A and B are shown apart, each in its own frame.
Chain A
């Protein structure tokens, strides 16, 4: 249903379009069962960045402080993109892996379930 406004056909500007992020697109990433990180993180990333670089360069900085991170084997990680199963190719870019502006990707790390298995 549209907004009931004084003038019919009211529409506001979309605030967070991709062109406002200086050549980056937003990506939201959630490490499931690791709620020490209270929510998914939001990252502005170049669409041409290889997915593998996201893992080794970016996420190491994001999640490196978690005690499970040292045990993490990216080859075992199970991904979803927008709720659908997702098999990222680490050689390909974020864009070529189908990730668009404001995509949500989640990953599970079998065997690693957070601090004392509490999903923290």
Chain B
């Protein structure tokens, strides 16, 4: 026998639309004790005018309760796969231990950006007075925090066996080349909330994200790293939401006021160029660091920027938005970027947080084939000379003098002129009596637009020379002081293990010991025999 209640009927279950409205827009209100301008002091100074926040279209009708349920299920699956990966010693199924260095690059260069994005969206969410935008920012903030966490958890398994993965956040904040991704995000976070979302949601997540995630995740799949593939899949549904949000954000701003158009165009120009410079690291990863290659950087740029990006900007033309400034320079650079970058890591790999190597002969042939117009003429002699040097000396050639860095992107000034690939591109200006230097017109324009900001850049090379990158208590005046050793100590890097040549690294030795494989590279002699 069941008891039947005679009380009033329960309220009718809400439909999806009403429920969504109650759980998002219904959570906001017009403040009365304090003015809205005082409660939301950061959403006007950038000059973006929003007349009607209700016009914000939420690209995904996701409420917080549904979010937890959905993400919780996804994460259960991810952790089950990571468990299985660990139990089956999945780390030994990767193609070649050189692949591990892409994980080191990812964990110290990209995962901390996920955390930075979490902070950025939390701030943007607080700053917007429109509820729809606030809820979307809040969800993305939580997404980014989850991504950082799942990436750390997945890759921490490799830390039990291999070097260089032990202190990613510490390194991100200190290691010289990691100031490139770090400064990129800090530039965005220290702008206003509208510039932040244009930078990250649109320019990064929408225009460039495929060029970051596709190479890393397909690269992992090609190279047998199923753990990384799994977090890639787990993040992918979030990424597609972020991309949609990115486009929505920009269209919303453009539709609100014609005065917004030039401001947004300027931000698109700036953040396209900063993103392009940041992706130099990905270009190098694709062409040089993946033992089994997915496609070349030039091919990826063609598909994901020239074709997809080209279509996007055609679509945005009706708002008065054009292609980002210097896109043609970026496209010309696709023939050079990865070679320049890997040669630079061959210069300074003794101070990087992953191992480096000279490409093997079959890899040089692959590069010749993918880059017929540039590789043999400009880059092959450099790498062949480095290979000969290593053979003769038993260690890689290194550059012992610190490089000149670009004041904006913080990459060493290693890029060449689009009109002359044998000439380093440098641009100079003066501000309040001091000289400032950039790697390109793109970075110089960004500097000139906001010199007050970029004169404050924390450039690792200058900081080392100022004596700010040694462990506390170091006395650089003692006889025989070794600055490089002190800097690596400050980075928490063990020279020759976390940094330096792959061929003489403990990672390589251990791999051979544990798997019984012989990693001696094929040589020309064998070919000739």
Contacts and interface: CB of A to CB of B under 8 A. Distances in A.
Contacts of B412: 38-39
Contact of B462 (A2, A26, A32, A38): A26
A82 B428 contact: yes
B331 interface: no
Given A16-B462, A44-B465, 17 more contacts: A4-B45, A5-B45, A11-B452, A13-B456, A22-B466, A26-B462, A28-B437, A30-B404, A30-B426, A36-B397, A38-B403, A39-B344, A62-B400, A62-B401, A82-B428, A114-B381, A115-B381
A118 to B, nearest CB: 4
B437 A12 contact: no
Interface in A29-72: 30, 32-33, 35-44, 61-62, 65, 67
Interface string A55-97: 0000001100101000000000000001100000000000000
B148 to A, nearest CB: 28
Contacts of B379: 120
A35 B452 contact: no
B423 interface: yes
Interface string A104-120: 10000000001110111
Contact of A33 (B422, B449, B450): B422
Interface residues of A, number: 50
B342 to A, nearest CB: 10
B452 A10 contact: yes
Contacts of B382: 35-36, 115, 118, 120
A35 B344 CA distance: 10
B46 interface: yes
B141 interface: no
B84 interface: no
Contacts of B466: 16, 20-22
A22 B467 contact: yes
Contacts of A100: 435
7 contacts: A16-B434, A38-B347, A39-B413, A42-B465, A101-B434, A115-B382, A118-B378
Task: Report whether over half of chain A's contact residues are helix, strand or loop; otherwise say mixed.
Answer: loop
B23 interface: no
B455 interface: yes
Contacts of A30: 404, 424, 426
Contacts of B416: 35
B433 to A, nearest CB: 9
Given A35-B422, A115-B381, A118-B378, A2 B404 contact: no
A95 B451 CA distance: 26
B422 A102 contact: no
B456 A12 contact: yes
B320 interface: no
Contacts of A1: 448-450
A22 B428 CA distance: 24
